[in-house]
Amino acid sequence: MSAELSDDLERLFLPPSVLPLFGTTEWTGMTDSERVAYSRAYCAAMFATCAWLEFVIIHFLNRMSVRQNSVAVRRYLLIEAAEECRHASAFLECSEWLNPDFEGPPRWCRMLGAVLMATGTDTDAMAAAFVAEELLDEINRRTADGEGHSVTRMISRRHVEDEARHLAFARAFLRKAECSRLSRFRTSVRVAVNAYVIARAIEADPVARSRVRMGSEFAAMLSCNLRASQRFLAAAGYDGVLSRAAWT
């Protein structure tokens, strides 16, 4: 992969619409070379964050497969875990080549992820995975079809192909989950908090985190995607006053 990444270094590594500064005055004031350098730094950060999210999802998929009595469901969970391992490996390899010094999402995001892995139920995990995969799917769709570097387009294209199945499974799982009203309420609050953490982790921009404008295309994409996830979860029964407040 490193040899392929070394080609075409004058192109943006991600399409402008998934770069946090696109549409801001900072972006307008950048030279072409500055935009390429910025896209490289952000791509390294975003792919490292994607890998971290995949690790969290893999943890829960493996845990769920151990608990399953259905051979068919267990087989599916193991297949999805294997696919997520491939995604994480590709994201990590690309991120390390682009910026080997980047440590991944902020420490507080990693700590909250550890809390979810230690205390979350399968339903909590699937709801959090659904929100994360929806956000990543939108970003990767734009990257796969956009004007970025050929390697990042290839990685994103493979991710999109697998995520269609993963999202369909997550939706079906959340609709059919047998849990009490109290359990659904608890999950609704947790997933709202997790959505905030996931969005901030994906937004983690080592170049200009504090300067991202809420009017940028990136912020609008995040907001639209999170609202769509919230609507699905509410329709599936994961809703409440506290969760609605947490989503805002």
Q: What are the pLDDT digits (tens) for 177-200?
A: 888 888 888 888 888 877 777 777
Segment among 19-33, 158-172, 227-241 with least mean pLDDT: 227-241
What is the average per-residue pLDDT within 35-62? 88
* Residues in Cβ contact with 75 at an 8 Å cutoff, skipping those fewer than 6 apart: none
Q: Which residue has the higher pLDDT, 246 or 191?
A: 191
The span from the CA of 190 to the CA of 194, in Å, is 6
pLDDT of residue 3: 43
Does residue 44 surpass a pLDDT of 60? yes
The residue ranges of every structural domain in the chain are: 8-247
CA distances from 201 to 148, 149, 158, 165 (A): 21, 23, 22, 24
Task: Indicate the CATH number for domain 8-247.
Answer: 1.10.620.20
What pTM did the predictor assign?
A: 0.83
